[in-house]
A and B are shown apart, each in its own frame.
With several copies, the nearest count.
Chain A
Amino acid sequence: MRILYFGWVRSKIGTGTQDIEVPNAAKNVRDLINHLSSLDNTYEQVFRDLTVIRVAVNQEMADMETLIEDAKEIALFPPMTGG
């Protein structure tokens, strides 16, 4: 599965794109994030406070409970600051 990072999430993780094998047990975004946090201390730090993390699944805004079964692309990022 393709995971994208933007903003300070990207800065801290050190890359904007990763292709990751997601375990079958990871049903929703929260499960995916828990899986990432279990892999590496950096993820654990970035995703410690999920209130500052926004998520898009297949380029549509989603939340931690959104199912990821049909996801091709999941993006994790801070609140948006355009304009």
Chain B
Amino acid sequence: MIRVQEEDFDAGKEIRALTRGKKRIGGVASFIGLVRESTNNETISSLTLEHYPGMTEKILEQIEKDARERWSLHEVLVIHRIGRMEPGEQIVLVVTTSAHREAALKSCQFLIDKLKTGAPFWKQEDTPKGSHWVTERPDDINASERWDTETKAECARFNHGSGDLTKAS
């Protein structure tokens, strides 16, 4: 499930709603991205996120679909905020659930890695010296691309409980 919204989110509440009554889930992995007070030794007073409405949702849905092809997952949730945020505020939440922890943890990392450079969001940082657009980090490009070189067979190694999942309604 994909949500793009201005409002903050309650990760605990979202995780509870996602897993309630789903007794086949053995592992829940989550990642929360926060606005930091400084990057590259520069003070950040606020961050503004803009996106491409319509395309953002399509791309995030495709990334979720790609994750589900690689791992046997039960529930998946991505919430990405847009608009203005201050240091300490939550930007993004990724939650993945599976019978086993490996699929949940790997797919959580996959989703956040992929959406960093593959979903149409753009960050602008406000600093005491003025505003600037954030440029993409080479580490983020590498983190995304490593998943493309990793074979699906490699992922399948961590992919437990697919038999169970097939039987799920």
Contacts and interface: CB of A to CB of B under 8 A. Distances in A.
Interface residues of A, number: 17
Contacts of B92: 82-83
Contact of A59 (B58, B118, B124, B134): B58
Interface residues of B, number: 28
Contacts of A8: 122, 133
B55 A82 contact: no
B123 interface: yes
B52 A81 contact: no
B102 to A, nearest CB: 12
B52 A78 contact: no
Given A6-B122, A81-B136, 14 more contacts: A4-B52, A6-B51, A8-B122, A59-B55, A75-B120, A77-B122, A78-B122, A79-B117, A79-B135, A80-B118, A80-B121, A82-B115, A82-B117, A83-B92
